[in-house]
Amino acid sequence: MAATTTVFSGIQPTGQLHLGNYIGAIRQWLGSQDECFNILCVVDLHAITVYQDPDELRRVCREAVGILLASGLDPDKCLIYIQSHVPAHSELAWLLNCVTPVGWLQRMTQYKEKSQTQDSVSTGLLDYPVLQAADILLFDTDLVPTGEDQRAHIELTRDIAGRFNMLYGDTFKLPKPVIPKIGAKIMGLDDPTSKMSKSIIKERPHHGIGVLDDPKKILKSFKRAVTDSGSDIEFSDDPEKAGVNNLLTVYQALTGKSQEDVLANFADARGYGDLKGGVAEAVIEILEPMQTRYREMMADGSYVDDVLHTSAAKARELCKDRLADAREKLGFLADRTS
């Protein structure tokens, strides 16, 4: 029998999960949970690389786990846990820090962009990709399904693993990124030149669609979506048509239709208003049942905490040997009691 493929991915609890997260990441995790072993981590240690209000961080962590479960991820098939519940993430990050040249981190585009928005840049923000590498390498991960924005982090993970293996002998498996063909970068509805992101939604609610947004708000955000002054409904990489292209991509990703079928679906549309309404309807059709499941699940006060508790215990057990192996390879003296 073929060995099970291990899938690892993470999501930051820095705001409500949005449609970009659902299309770019969660959908892929749902698609692999029957064939692969999915390990999904809500990365609170990554979140605090920029200031988070402590009460809000706790709230958003539980909300994120509730959304993952409500989306159909099955805790009997995958692990869903909070990163800080498994201290091995932090420990391996330190070990990997010591083989990672600082220049590799300074060159990361995400670091350059994020650090520009901060008054004071934390060391953690620069080190963010090393912690991400630790997340992935702890579990002998084969595949890392994410949106397009994470490609560089996964390449860096491979470089860090390669460097450790070169210096200390074969220790870490090199993971492969899995980026979806459709919907790897969902753009903001109010500005189709920037990626839909949690931080922008906090300031401008109509920038994106929160997974828990009510149908009226979803329709309103789509109706206000920025398009262009023309009337052609077409897939296009012309920057002028970025808004329409984004709407069609959302629709295509959610319905699984071909481009031809998507266009045929909107062939009778009278202008962009109909397009926006049709896309909003497809989004509501997916999100509404998920929201009902979410509310039911959250009404049971202990369900989420029970899942987290069980998953974290399994994750701690699973990564023990890889961490011990890395410690030994580095030449740490074993503690007789451990």
Check: CB of residue 27 under 8 Å from CB of residue 283. Answer: no
Among 185, 206, 223, 316, binds ligand AMP (CB under 6 A): 185
In the complex, least distance from residue 96 CB atom to ligand AMP, rounded to whole angstroms: 20
**What are the residues whose beta carbons fall under 8 Å from the beta carbon of 264, sequence distance 6 or more?**
none
- Spell out the alpha helix ranges (H) of the chain: 19-21, 27-32, 44-47, 54-70, 88-97, 102-106, 109-116, 123-137, 151-168, 198-203, 215-223, 242-255, 259-265, 272-299, 303-330
Could you tell me the two tokens for 80?
Answer: 């869903």
- CB nearer to ligand AMP: give 149 or 325: 149
- CB nearer to ligand TRP: give 89 or 241: 89
How far from the centroid of its chain's Cα atoms is residue 222's Cα? Answer: 23
Residues 186, 31: Cα–Cα separation, whole Å: 19
Residues from 186 through 215 that contact ligand AMP (CB under 6 A)? 186, 195-198
β-bridge mates for residue 8, sequence order: 39
Among 38, 71, 141, 150, binds ligand AMP (CB under 6 A): 150
- Catalytic residue at 77? no
- Catalytic residue at 314? no
In the complex, least distance from residue 287 CB atom to ligand TRP, rounded to whole angstroms: 20
Place of tokens 């999100």: 287
33 is in the binding site of which of ligand TRP, ligand AMP, none (Cβ under 5 to 8 A by kind)? none
24 is in the binding site of which of ligand TRP, ligand AMP, none (Cβ under 5 to 8 A by kind)? ligand AMP
- CB nearer to ligand TRP: give 90 or 259: 90
Residue at shortest CB range from ligand TRP: 10
Residues from 45 through 104 that contact ligand TRP (CB under 6 A)? 46
In the complex, least distance from residue 43 CB atom to ligand TRP, rounded to whole angstroms: 4
- CB nearer to ligand TRP: give 131 or 282: 131
Of 138, 140, 259, 239, the C-alpha closest to 194 is 239
Task: Say if residue 230 is exposed, middle or buried (CB neighbours under 10 Å; 0-12, 13-18, 19+).
Answer: exposed
Place of tokens 């990703």: 253
Among 7, 25, 40, 138, binds ligand AMP (CB under 6 A): 25
Check: CB of residue 87 under 8 Å from CB of residue 134. Answer: no
List 173, 185, 195, 257, catalytic entry: 195
Q: For Cα atoms 2, 316, 162, give the angle at the middle one, nearest 5 degrees.
A: 60
Among 127, 135, 190, 213, binds ligand TRP (CB under 6 A): 135
Active site residue ranges: 114, 195, 198
Footprint of ligand TRP (CB under 6 A)? 8-10, 12, 43, 46, 132, 135-136, 144, 146, 150, 153
Footprint of ligand AMP (CB under 6 A)? 11-12, 20-21, 23-25, 146-147, 149-150, 184-186, 195-198
